[in-house]
Structure 1
Amino acid sequence: MTLNCKGKLIDLTVPKVMGILNITPDSFYDGGQHKNENAVLKHVELMLHQGATFIDVGAYSSRPNADHVSEAHELKRILPIVNLILKEFPEVLLSIDTFRSQVAKQCIAAGAALVNDISAGKLDHNMLQTIADLHVPYIMMHMKGTPQTMQQQTNYDDIIKDMLFYFSERIAAARQLGIVDIIVDPGFGFAKTLEQNYELLNKLEHFKMIDKPVLVGVSRKSMIYKTLETSAKESLNGTSVLNTIALQKNASILRVHDVKEAMECIKLVESLNA
């Protein structure tokens, strides 16, 4: 499988790493860490040096019960950072973590390469058409409700079947508009209980039938630190364990806070498959 990012073909035969750059003050793990331009550039440089193929920039925290942020404020946060990063690292493949079509449109116009939408187009009905017009890769995640309501929406008849139906419907809608490069994200922690997250990881190989690259984002999430009775700060080892399992179950992209360790997981799993 390949992705066309700004005319560059990214081969996903060997899994890739997406490094997380949160510029929100209230992200669950690294909120408020990147407060100035120097801190942002240093972090991006480190992630690229450690092997990240993509850098995912988000200006709207999607953690459970996060504060709502207006579109104008999201743009005010994210556009200067996109411009800053691309000025310093013009070849970087920036992913824009947003569910708003106008934010996606303006960031892609500024030079970003792909869009990462937690709602798969369900929170902004202009998103799919915008992606089709922009001709960029699109990450569609599974979630019910909004970040503010999702934890009350964890009822499923059969979580895997329900999610496969969800993705088949969203992919069909995207294809109808001419969107070619689609990545699916099962959305660990989004409208899912702790037990459902582990059921999802245990059955991740079922998503092969969608025939699209699968992105997994479990980095330092509560499914790790609640199980281990620890904290997000102490969840790196647990993250590496779950990333390894995800790779063995067909994950093509790991979205992580810790790039070096994720790259090591990929290298070791690839050695098993050599």
Structure 2
Amino acid sequence: MIKARLGRVWIGDGEPVRIMGVVNLSPESFYKGSVRTSVDGVVKTVDSMVKDGVDIIDLGGMSTAPYNRTLVSIDEELGRLAPVVKALKDAYPDLVLSIDTFRARVAEECLRLGADVINDVTGLKGDPDMAKVVADHGVSVIVMTRERTPNRGLEPVDRVINALRESVDIALNSGISRDRIVIDPGIGFGPLSLDPVITGGEPIRGEYRHGDENYPWYSWDSILIMNTVKIRQELGLPILIGVSRKSFLERLIRRSAPPEDRLFASISVEAISVLMGADAIRTHNVHESRDAVRVGEALRLCLNKSPKECSRELIKLVQGTA
């Protein structure tokens, strides 16, 4: 059975597809509609997400979009996050809070304040102290696919699986329990050696952001989504997919569309991701994504089943006896 937990929320086989709502405290974030710069604004947004059925809230104090200049100091990142974590823990003591950071000091302070999960976009490879912080606090971690350098010569899915295995090994060898690890294939992110947030270099530009001229970045991301179930099965861990308003969607719809205009593309790919095997969806749009996730979850019951088997499964689901 493939199953793990993020805080008190179990994810994977036998569980509903979970919804993680994104709230960014970083004005530099690529989707301005997700940004909240006051504690009151965050609490109101989270209140709305809770009413819409969110399972986990993911708080970001610094954008890590590799195609923008987003780097801020550790003190700035902490200054944004700490008061919000305190306020949300007071307002919603049972709500699972995830912190989107790759910095161990930021993670340490937020966990001390009551956060439940660390969402590390470097897959525990960006800060050598991060895995120990997570292990010492006994909390859950989301590890994103990040190659240290481009592993040219392999296909995208194989590269992702290899990079995730490395991150999972770091976690396990540091004392993080396997049932507290969730994987993320890293839609929109390339190798660490090409990431300006890590290297201090220029933002990533061009079509080939993974170091392989056979795979433009939008093809790479699309291939990963369509191979979600393979990645999940190879690692034997639940998988979280984050596609919300990301730039590859603009290429797929083949028209100019800033993040504000990618909602419908987002929810369509979220439903497809669930159909392809995702255990959780990370989204800016909890209200809209909820229904897409539920539909994808329902149709997934019919994969590789006869019409009669499909009908029986859907009847059980709709009638609440599943």
TM-score (norm 1): 0.91
Q: Tell me, yes or no, if structure 1 residue 39 matches structure 2 residue 41.
A: yes
> Using a 3 Å threshold, how does the CA distance of structure 1 residues 155 and 258 change in structure 2: closer, same or farther?
farther
**Number of the residue aligned with 1:258:** 285
> 1:156/1:22 Cα in 2 relative to 1: closer, same or farther (>3 Å)?
farther
- Partner residue of 1:111? 114
Aligned AA (1:143): R
Deviations 1:213-256 (A, max 9, x none): 10100000101123322221111111111111110111111000
Alignment size in residue pairs: 266
Q: CA 1:4–1:29 in structure 2 vs 1: closer, same or farther (change >3 Å)?
A: closer
Change (3 A) 1:90 1:226: same
Q: Which residue of 1 aligns with 2:235?
A: 210
- Structure 1 residues 167-212: Cα deviation after superposition (integer angstroms, max 9, x where no partner): 1122122112221111111110101511111111122221122111
Partner of 1:27: 29
Preserved CA contact (<8 Å) 1:95 1:116:
yes
Matching residue of 2:186: 187
1:167 aligns with 2:192: no
Return the match for 2:220 from 169, 181, 196: 196
Q: The residue matched to 1:132 in structure 2 has which SS? A: helix
SS at match of 1:60: coil
State the 1:58 CA deviation.
0.4
Over the matched positions of the two proteins, sequence identity in percent amounts to 29
Answer yes or no: is the 8 Å Cα contact 2:26–2:60 preserved in 1. Answer: yes
**What residue is the counterpart of 2:251 in the other structure?**
226
The equivalent residue for 1:268 is: 295
What is the match of residue 79 of structure 2?
76
CA distance in 1, matches of 2:244, 2:42: 19
Give the secondary-structure state (helix, strand or coil) at the position aligned to 2:143.
strand
Alignment of structure 1 residues 22-171 onto 2, 5 Å: 22-30=24-32, 33-63=35-65, 64-144=67-147, 157-171=154-168
Whole-angstrom distance in 1 between the partners of 2:52 and 2:129: 36
- d(CA) in 1 for partners of 2:6, 2:56: 13
Q: Within 2, Cα distance between the matches of 1:91 and 1:197?
A: 34
Gaps of 5+ in 2: 191-209, 211-216, 302-312, 314-322
The letter of the residue matching 1:199 is: I
| TM-score (norm: length of structure 2) | 0.78
1:269–1:32 CA distance, 2 compared to 1 (3 A): closer
Alpha-carbon shift at residue 9 of structure 1 (Å): 4.9
Secondary structure of residue in 1 paired with 2:32 = coil
SS at match of 1:57: strand
Gap change, CA 1:218 and 1:4, over 3 Å in 2:
closer
- SS of aligned partner of 2:10: strand
Residues in 1 aligned to 2:34 and 2:230: alpha-carbon distance in whole angstroms: 37
The ranges of structure 1 where at least 4 consecutive aligned residues each deviate by more than 3 angstroms after the TM superposition are 153-156
2:167, 2:151 → 1: CA distance? Answer: 19
The Cα of 1:268 is off from its aligned counterpart by 1.5
Secondary structure of the corresponding residue to residue 140 of structure 1: strand
Q: CA RMSD in A?
A: 1.9
Cα distance in 1 for residues equivalent to 2:283 and 2:6? 22
Q: Which runs of 5+ in 1 are unaligned?
A: none
Verify the 8 A CA contact 2:6 2:141 in the aligned structure 1. no
Amino acid of the residue matched to residue 223 of structure 2? E
Quick one: distance in 1 between partners of 2:189 and 2:153? 13
> Post-superposition shift, 1:155?
5.3
Instruction: Spell out, residue by residue over 1:3-29, the C-alpha distance to the aligned partner (whole angstroms, 9 max, x if none).
Output: 161xx3525321100000000011111
Aligned to 2:201: none
Amino acid at match of 1:10: W
